[in-house]
């Protein structure tokens, strides 16, 4: 019981300091930061903090990548989102321009 309580406190600290949700923090506690999945959690958190783009900037990047011949899958990977989300971001901007 005491061991579970202490583990819970550590997981809470990991969640707070690393900006992770409860599931990610538990995984990080159990497997450590050197585990490939944990590295991916941290990498995504860092990318999100560094790449806060405006809607216009996102749409411009996506538009340029499409013109250069990138696939939707590659664009989604670069933008760290799903394919449908990348298409929606571009579509929102096109709708605003025509309105």
Structure tokens at 2: 């005491």
Span 82-98, pLDDT tens digits: 899 989 988 866 665 66
Q: Which one has a higher pLDDT value, 3 or 95?
A: 3
- Going from the C-alpha of 12 to that of each of 4, 22, 32, 76, 83, the distances in angstroms are 12, 7, 15, 31, 33
Span 7-41, pLDDT tens digits: 888 888 888 888 888 888 898 899 988 889 888 88
- Going from the C-alpha of 44 to that of each of 27, 47, 48, 77, the distances in angstroms are 15, 5, 6, 11
Question: How far out from the chain centre does Cα 27 lie?
Answer: 17
Rounded-to-integer distance, Cα 38 and Cα 58, Å: 27
The ranges assigned to domains in the chain are 2-50, 55-98
Residue pair 80/44 in contact (Cβ under 8 Å)? The answer is yes
Rounded-to-integer distance, Cα 33 and Cα 56, Å: 35
| pLDDT for residue 49 is more than 70 | no
Intra-chain end-to-end CA distance of the chain, in Å: 61
């Amino acid at each position: 019981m005491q061991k579970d309580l202490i583990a819970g406190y550590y997981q809470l600290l990991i969640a707070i300091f690393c900006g992770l949700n409860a599931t990610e923090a538990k995984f990080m506690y159990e497997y450590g930061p050197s585990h490939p999945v944990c590295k991916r959690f941290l990498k995504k958190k860092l990318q999100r903090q560094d790449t806060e783009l405006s809607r216009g900037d996102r749409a411009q990047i996506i538009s340029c990548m499409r013109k250069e011949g990138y696939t939707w899958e590659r664009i989604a990977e670069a933008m760290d989102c799903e394919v449908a989300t990348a298409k929606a971001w571009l579509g929102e901007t096109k709708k605003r321009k025509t309105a």
